């Protein structure tokens, strides 16, 4: 009951805060960076990953809840920035389909693979009380490569945005 209440409360508080941070950051970064939306995604990951990794291993429930709140904010920043980033590099003709594929993959892969993997790893340790260590390891094993890949891909993303903008400028005279 308490866990569900806290989680629900976070969806109604940290979620909107994270989305507002994403929108604010996007507006600030897009003025000076072509890759501003991807930078917002990286910001969300930089907030979400460490706080998500360490809240399960906190020594007190209060510390865990505080870190979890910040993790939810980071998750909301990344959740808002991911599709926005994708939309900026996807041509209009296939944007709807690509977003549908993106959302399908996100909605299926995590819930289908994550929980069984966490359960298997916890069973492999032989102690159900070690689930906190498994959760921390899981987040770090997925989160750190995600941050590195996003950072390494920044220059390619920037070029994709510029290429799409150039293509759209080329098409404008033909449309008029």
pLDDT digits (tens, 9 = 90+) for 144-156: 999 999 999 999 9
- At residue 106 the predicted structure's pLDDT band, cuts being 50, 70 and 90, is confident
- At residue 122 the predicted structure's pLDDT band, cuts being 50, 70 and 90, is very high
pLDDT at 135: 95
83-94 pLDDT, tens digit each: 888 888 888 888
Give the least confident one: 42-46, 133-137, 157-161: 157-161
- At residue 134 the predicted structure's pLDDT band, cuts being 50, 70 and 90, is very high
pLDDT at 173: 67
- Helix locations, 31-153, DSSP H: 36-54, 61-89, 92-125, 131-152
What proportion of the chain, given as a percentage, has pLDDT over 90?
A: 64
Domains in the chain (CATH in brackets) are 2-175 (1.20.1250)
Q: Is the pTM of this model over 0.75?
A: yes
Distance between CA atoms of residues 37 and 142, nearest Å? 21
Q: Quick check: 58 and 67 in contact, CB under 8 A?
A: yes
Q: 36-54 and 61-89 are packed helices; what angle lies between their axes, rounded to 10 degrees? A: 160
């Amino acid at each position: 009951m308490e866990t569900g209440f806290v989680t629900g409360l976070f969806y109604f508080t940290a979620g909107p805060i994270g989305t507002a941070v994403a929108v604010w950051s996007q507006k600030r970064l897009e003025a000076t960076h072509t890759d501003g939306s991807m930078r917002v995604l990286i910001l969300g990951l930089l907030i979400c990953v460490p706080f998500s990794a360490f809240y399960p291993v906190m020594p007190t429930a209060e510390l865990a809840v505080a870190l979890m709140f910040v993790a939810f904010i980071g998750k909301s920043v990344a959740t808002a920035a991911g599709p926005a980033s994708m939309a900026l590099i996807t041509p209009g003709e296939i944007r709807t389909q690509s977003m549908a594929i993106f959302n399908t993959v996100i909605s299926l892969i995590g819930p289908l693979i994550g929980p069984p993997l966490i359960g298997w790893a916890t069973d492999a340790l032989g102690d159900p009380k070690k689930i906190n260590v498994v959760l921390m390891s899981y987040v770090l094993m997925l989160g750190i490569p995600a941050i590195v890949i996003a950072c390494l891909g920044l220059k390619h993303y920037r070029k994709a945005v510029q290429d799409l903008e150039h293509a759209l400028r080329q098409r404008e005279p033909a449309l008029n």
